[in-house]
Structure 1
């Protein structure tokens, strides 16, 4: 192979390979678009944050690129402040303008390109980041790995997930690249603060880094994380510089300029949120940047003052100053103390409820390996390489990389969403590891090639030798006593291992990404889509203009406005698809507190639930099967973090039929589960439901079985009352650690009688039946209207036959309270909804029937 040609055309080769990597990154991310066929493009959009970002684009386009900092179309009756920046939305506006997108499908189609383009731009950028740690080969490796690396970096940039997160990666990486250039450019220079010409280049690069930081900040306040990374690196590097007798003016100049620009830029941008919360555009950022500048100046002054003192004075003095600073903040500025401590904990810590939020959960080893597989091993190797390099020769840029990697790794370990930040770090350090190993083993590889293919290796050696002589390097080749090359087999072994790891990393990542992209992971649930489209077309307008931008200081909801109660996961869908106002949303607003959605759905008293809806101004309630089953524990946790789902459900092991020594897990429902509002609505349509059969269960405690959960030793389906009697008798003489109880596996078979809900009527249900064929018909999504209800005087049990919009027949039954029924359904043709009565109300055991007009249900009047 003629390597001279390759060297002569290296730039073209590099551009071609980076371009290829960019196309690979785009191709993988556009697979959903390429396979969607004639599918409605809205169905390709993920159902959480992307739909809200699309709403912001619609708002911005309708208002001449203005950005809404307040939105009354969510979190009724409060509205919400938008806490992230306008940059992603403005970029999407540009995409839409270039594409001529005007209609909603056109706007969606243009916006769904934004995040794949963010990722592709990051791939190109990573060439320069990698090159800063070695040469063009490291750059190509870093770029190539970034093109295929998995995790949320891939998921959040997949076609269908329009969001700001991969934009965060792009601009934070741009900032890190600029900071790396500062560290590289100052090497070998002598800076005198009094002579600007000695630090002109550092100042220019610092200004560029400050602009890059501002771009990231205007995209998302989370950019403050990279100020924290710079702060930690600055502390570490000052200590290294002090011990090596090196001056650190470059750090003082860089940090001062970068964060002065950030401060000025934020002051011009304006504080969009009150208080000092660092997760918003508040004055807290300015405090943080000024503290970082001040801390850098203090570290510099201390290093100058202690220059000729004993080495350990410097770190001890730093520790003392840090303790003193925290003490002063605690006493003199408790607000700032709380700001830094609470925000650090919020970012790096864990709370019970965060384990219910998919991307806020702690990272597990299994998830880590699934996302990054062999890249984790290469990243570890890259960290070792950077530490080894700095032991031999000072390389501040590599210390920065280690700090960057460790902080992002810990952040990801606490909250899985930060995989998207970690992905580029893994790609970079994998490249560093592979390049280092191959550089060390290159001589042995050539000798091996000589032994295998002497003629081709000789030609290659001549070309390589010519090039290396041009650089002043001498060729040395160890030979064995017999004259053949002497190979370093351990080095070749390491080269082989690293090469295989690199191939496995790339292959596994591409395979994993292809599977994700082909799986329709972002595809919207069709039942929810049709239900919300129906809701938007068949319920009263709220009186709030969906396309208007409102001022939070002057806005007041009109009297026609109302809320939609559902779980927070579905809030953005309600806003974007139905143009209605959810009480709770995926910002986790409207979830906690006495009037939150968690308290509502977990309530076991209708009076309590009604009081919540009255306080929240709610008119409609939407439930789905996931709230009723898979997400039930999450609602229980938000409602009460101490007991979570314990009072409502029990997890147990039962022996596998094929192998009794192996256990399978099962979730069984306790009696309180069936009394919750979410169960009474979704499982029973608000109707009175008697207890019939359940499981009589005998089980052994974990202390007996040494398993992590109780183990079922016997289970039998029987009448509820008989099961209760049998359990009571068993427990009187049960062996230690063994118990009996009554539980239910079916969501439609309560353990105790479930009373009717008197103020909720089913008005729509989606087509999909989620129940097994032999256990009834429970539709995926149901919509209920909260009504005053018509009053009927009488005693006993009243019922009414109904048919839903899907043709499902059911009977609503209610038992009288204090000689009165309050019924939610009308019987006349004036009912505006497709769930209709097919007969009058009838008091069971009598011939008495009642017709109930729509006006009586809405106004709450008495009809007899």
Structure 2
């Protein structure tokens, strides 16, 4: 029989618990797959933005003998896009497909969607060791368990269906921090003589492993450099602490030098992919930064030695002076690199007006913070206090690093919610440190309390002498007083322990509940209308002449004459590339969005000639719209177009008093006249046809100068004819009291305030099946595809119209008012290759004249008569 001592039994227990956490982590993340039962189209389970592009990269990798592409002409037409992130995540996924024998698209998707949940499970294991170093085995188990169930972006980015490198960033950054923390823990008291390698051989070996871990993270994403920043901040703080504690700093000098020397060497071998010094790309800027980090550590070490024995405050004051001098010298010697550092810091830690239009880049609100981490936020604060308490008592550089790590990531998350996936690790660790500390604090008191309530061991009938009984009575009275004091202390600690444990239980329960609801409720799913529309585009539009799988060289590539772009909002760019295998003008890297020729300028254009100029510049042939661009995402497009005005010229948010309680308000979004003139409205709401104004709201309201709230407050509203409403508003505004106004607004996307002219160069060629707005006069579909054409010319005056039927069976009439005695019409009546077809000829109202328009006239801009 094999004897298992206590330590081995405990190790088996720990391994079993961590394995259980891994299973829980995988189970909750694989719920979408498990609940589908294999009956759902797997493509519909994939996130529709970055995950699709990562799948494209894996497909290219497998089709090109594991060659990674750094330039992609299948997006951002007409210039193509440079890939700025690293290949490691794609290589890992590609090797997984190779091992599994995945060849077809569904097989590749099935394997790739497993990679993020597995990476999250590996992170659960790593967190046991991170927690153990920062506390003990109990801290490790708690950190591991919390990591398995913590919700927020960490859970979402590792959920089955979200195939992206973010979870890989968390995995490899955690691996780096684990090894770095272990170096700080094990080497802080090492007696290092820099001239004797044998004294720092172990430090060098561990630092080499940390350098490799950092390099892996760098090969996955260049923004891993934020962890170099964390090392910088920690190193400065720790040297100051070491000076005040008369401790040595050789281990920090050795560790930082070796780690970032490996990063420099690895990056030099890897090669620079960007000619700039941008730290968000693989540029020489990284080398400059790592050299500065190594040199800075050496300066901190040498300054500490030089000032040894002098007043302690000399050291931090000297650091401030050196920092000012260094910044000044850097600004003079290399202003470009200085500005790049400032710019990189602002991009990572700051906000811009357009940031709010990108969901993952928005600032962190208290509501979203609580939704993500709930009671873990309270435990995090407790963990911070524990680390500060421990650091005050003794030198614990590993815990100081954990604190700096957490503080930097917390601040970055406050600025950009996407960094929740990093912060989840810190929440789990600090929560574990808090609970473990309280357990350690109260364990002795709890044991003492348990001993005090044990029954006496002697029987009642035992015989004792009078002196013995008197002596024993005195001892018992003294012990009772002492026990009462101890019991009081025990109860206080027990109360703290119960509260802390309760918070931990609530943290786990709330996180699991939130994650389960999201995982089982199709949190990640592709819109079927978009999927079907893009499949139609792949099968029914001309090929671009750019091969989907071929890897092209940026320096020698030129687009063929048959190529063209597809204009849509940037959210949908990767869907266009992956599903339709066409080339979007804008993509989810927020490229092709801003500027005079960006997608924002196009969809917000209120003049067709301006919009056409943009499409001509961008080489666009097709335009895709959807109801979200027309409504919920409209403000985002307006903000990208004009960060100052945003949606104000097009829409008004107004507070409406409650019907039963006039002191309560509800917000209502009403459209201004300019909204209906935008290209997105004219295309999606009216199919490019002329729209006539009929009814609207006459609205009276008080502005902020009167209400002292964020939005105007409605004082009167009447539905009426638009011309009567306009006249009444003009009359009211002539004599309106200060702060009061009248306007003509509309609550419906299909009821314009003034007549909207027809578009002459856009024809509907496909629409999806789902109706989002239906009435006896209107049927607006979810997704629509338009072709940008030259248009056929017809001489005449008045209003011309042609009846049409769409691929869904919807009937509508395209109408256009003549301009300078001519019509330019986008629909052909004969030879039309699409499923949206004319059911009759063009006819000028009141004239009885009809015209047949062949397809060639529409495509070549020919004159009919």
TM over 0.5, shorter chain: yes
Equivalent in the alignment of 1:628: 630
Equivalent in the alignment of 1:69: 70
Distance 1:483 1:43, change over 3 A: closer
Is the aligned partner of 1:823 residue 2:831?
Answer: no
Conserved 8 A contact 2:452-2:483: no
Distance 1:88 1:478, change over 3 A: farther
Distance 1:207 1:355, change over 3 A: same
Equivalent in the alignment of 2:740: 738
Please give the secondary structure, in 1, of the residue aligned with 2:718.
strand
Alignment gaps of 5+ in structure 2? 458-477
Alignment gaps of 5+ in structure 1? 457-476
Shift of 1:316: 1.1
Give me the whole-angstrom Cα distance separating, in 1, the residues matched to 2:109 and 2:65. Answer: 18
Give me the whole-angstrom Cα distance separating, in 2, the residues matched to 1:670 and 1:486. Answer: 72
Equivalent in the alignment of 2:201: 200
Please give the secondary structure, in 2, of the residue aligned with 1:771.
strand
Please give the secondary structure, in 1, of the residue aligned with 2:779.
coil
Give me the whole-angstrom Cα distance separating, in 1, the residues matched to 2:327 and 2:483. Answer: 70
Alignment of 1:266-415 (within 5 A): 266-415=267-416
Please give the secondary structure, in 2, of the residue aligned with 1:168.
helix
Equivalent in the alignment of 1:700: 702
Distance 1:762 1:194, change over 3 A: same
Equivalent in the alignment of 2:791: 789
Equivalent in the alignment of 2:588: 586
Equivalent in the alignment of 2:475: none
Give me the whole-angstrom Cα distance separating, in 2, the residues matched to 1:743 and 1:272. Answer: 52
Equivalent in the alignment of 1:468: none
Distance 1:845 1:314, change over 3 A: same
Give me the whole-angstrom Cα distance separating, in 2, the residues matched to 1:210 and 1:375. Answer: 31
Alignment of 1:14-93 (within 5 A): 14-37=14-37, 38-93=39-94
Give me the whole-angstrom Cα distance separating, in 2, the residues matched to 1:481 and 1:395. Answer: 35
Distance 1:19 1:323, change over 3 A: same
Cα RMSD over matched residues? 1.5
Give me the whole-angstrom Cα distance separating, in 2, the residues matched to 1:659 and 1:49. Answer: 46
Give me the whole-angstrom Cα distance separating, in 1, the residues matched to 2:455 and 2:286. Answer: 64
Equivalences, count: 840
Give me the whole-angstrom Cα distance separating, in 2, the residues matched to 1:524 and 1:191. Answer: 58
1:25-74 per-residue CA deviation (whole Å, 9 max, x = no partner) reads 00110011112231100000010000000000000000111111110000
Distance 1:208 1:779, change over 3 A: same
Conserved 8 A contact 1:125-1:174: yes
Please give the secondary structure, in 1, of the residue aligned with 2:785.
strand
Give me the whole-angstrom Cα distance separating, in 1, the residues matched to 2:728 and 2:479. Answer: 85
Give me the whole-angstrom Cα distance separating, in 1, the residues matched to 2:493 and 2:280. Answer: 48
1:821-857 per-residue CA deviation (whole Å, 9 max, x = no partner) reads 10000001x2110000000000001110000000000
Distance 1:579 1:482, change over 3 A: closer
1:479-526 per-residue CA deviation (whole Å, 9 max, x = no partner) reads 535789624122222111101100000000000101111121111001
Please give the secondary structure, in 1, of the residue aligned with 2:800.
strand
Shift of 1:446: 2.1
Please give the secondary structure, in 2, of the residue aligned with 1:320.
helix
Please give the secondary structure, in 2, of the residue aligned with 1:695.
strand
Conserved 8 A contact 1:478-1:485: no
Equivalent in the alignment of 1:852: 853
1:512-556 per-residue CA deviation (whole Å, 9 max, x = no partner) reads 101111121111001000000000110000000001111111111
Distance 1:607 1:452, change over 3 A: farther
Give me the whole-angstrom Cα distance separating, in 2, the residues matched to 1:538 and 1:156. Answer: 34
1:603-659 per-residue CA deviation (whole Å, 9 max, x = no partner) reads 011111001000000000000000000000000000011111110010011122343
Please give the secondary structure, in 2, of the residue aligned with 1:586.
coil
Please give the secondary structure, in 2, of the residue aligned with 1:652.
strand
Is the aligned partner of 1:762 residue 2:764?
Answer: yes
Conserved 8 A contact 1:480-1:486: no
1:736-764 per-residue CA deviation (whole Å, 9 max, x = no partner) reads 32211110000000111101100000000
Equivalent in the alignment of 2:526: 524
Shift of 1:774: 6.1
1:177-236 per-residue CA deviation (whole Å, 9 max, x = no partner) reads 010111011132211101111111110000000000000000101110100000000010
Give me the whole-angstrom Cα distance separating, in 1, the residues matched to 2:192 and 2:100. Answer: 50
Is the aligned partner of 1:125 residue 2:126?
Answer: yes
Distance 1:556 1:453, change over 3 A: farther
Equivalent in the alignment of 1:663: 665
Alignment of 1:44-193 (within 5 A): 44-193=45-194
Give me the whole-angstrom Cα distance separating, in 2, the residues matched to 1:772 and 1:832. Answer: 28
Equivalent in the alignment of 2:575: 573
Conserved 8 A contact 1:698-1:715: yes
1:83-139 per-residue CA deviation (whole Å, 9 max, x = no partner) reads 111111111011111221100000000000000001000001100000001111110
Give me the whole-angstrom Cα distance separating, in 1, the residues matched to 2:308 and 2:99. Answer: 59
Please give the secondary structure, in 2, of the residue aligned with 1:783.
strand
Distance 1:193 1:584, change over 3 A: same
Conserved 8 A contact 1:479-1:486: no
Distance 1:454 1:536, change over 3 A: farther
Conserved 8 A contact 2:801-2:816: yes
Give me the whole-angstrom Cα distance separating, in 2, the residues matched to 1:246 and 1:123. Answer: 34
Is the aligned partner of 1:421 residue 2:408?
Answer: no
Give me the whole-angstrom Cα distance separating, in 1, the residues matched to 2:848 and 2:47. Answer: 53
Give me the whole-angstrom Cα distance separating, in 2, the residues matched to 1:766 and 1:483. Answer: 77
Give me the whole-angstrom Cα distance separating, in 2, the residues matched to 1:348 and 1:748. Answer: 42
1:300-352 per-residue CA deviation (whole Å, 9 max, x = no partner) reads 11111111222121111111111111111111211111111111111111000
Give me the whole-angstrom Cα distance separating, in 2, the residues matched to 1:11 and 1:775. Answer: 72
Conserved 8 A contact 2:190-2:251: no
TM-score by length of 1: 0.96
1:693-733 per-residue CA deviation (whole Å, 9 max, x = no partner) reads 11111112233233321111111111001001111122223
1:660-699 per-residue CA deviation (whole Å, 9 max, x = no partner) reads 3221111110000100011100000000111111111111
Give me the whole-angstrom Cα distance separating, in 2, the residues matched to 1:839 and 1:341. Answer: 63
Shift of 1:7: 5.4
Give me the whole-angstrom Cα distance separating, in 2, the residues matched to 1:484 and 1:605. Answer: 84
Give me the whole-angstrom Cα distance separating, in 2, the residues matched to 1:271 and 1:188. Answer: 39
Give me the whole-angstrom Cα distance separating, in 1, the residues matched to 2:150 and 2:846. Answer: 69
